[in-house]
Structure 1
Amino acid sequence: MAYTPKTKEFTSKAGNKYTFQTVMNSKTAEIIDEGTGPQGKVLNHKMIPLMLEHVVVTPAGLTMDEFDTWTELEEVSNEAFRFLRAGQ
Structure 2
Amino acid sequence: MAFQAKTKEFTSEVGNKYTFQNVMNSKQAEIVDEGTNAVGKVLNAKMMPLMLKHVVVSPAGLTMDEFNTWSELEEVTNEAFTFLRKGL
Say whether the fold is shared (TM-score over 0.5): yes
Task: Please say if 1:51 is aligned against 2:71.
Answer: no
Alignment of 1:9-20 (within 5 A): 9-20=9-20
Number of residue equivalences: 88
Structure 2 gap ranges (5+): none
Per the normalisation by structure 2, the TM-score is 0.99
Alignment of 1:30-45 (within 5 A): 30-45=30-45
Structure 1 gap ranges (5+): none
Q: Which runs of 4+ in 1 moved over 2 A?
A: none
Alignment of 1:57-68 (within 5 A): 57-68=57-68
Provide the aligned C-alpha RMSD in A. 0.4
d(CA) in 2 for partners of 1:83, 1:46: 18
- What is residue 70 of structure 1 aligned with on the other side? 70
Per the normalisation by structure 1, the TM-score is 0.99
Secondary structure class of the residue paired with 2:57? strand
Secondary structure class of the residue paired with 1:2? coil
Identity across aligned pairs (percent)?
A: 76
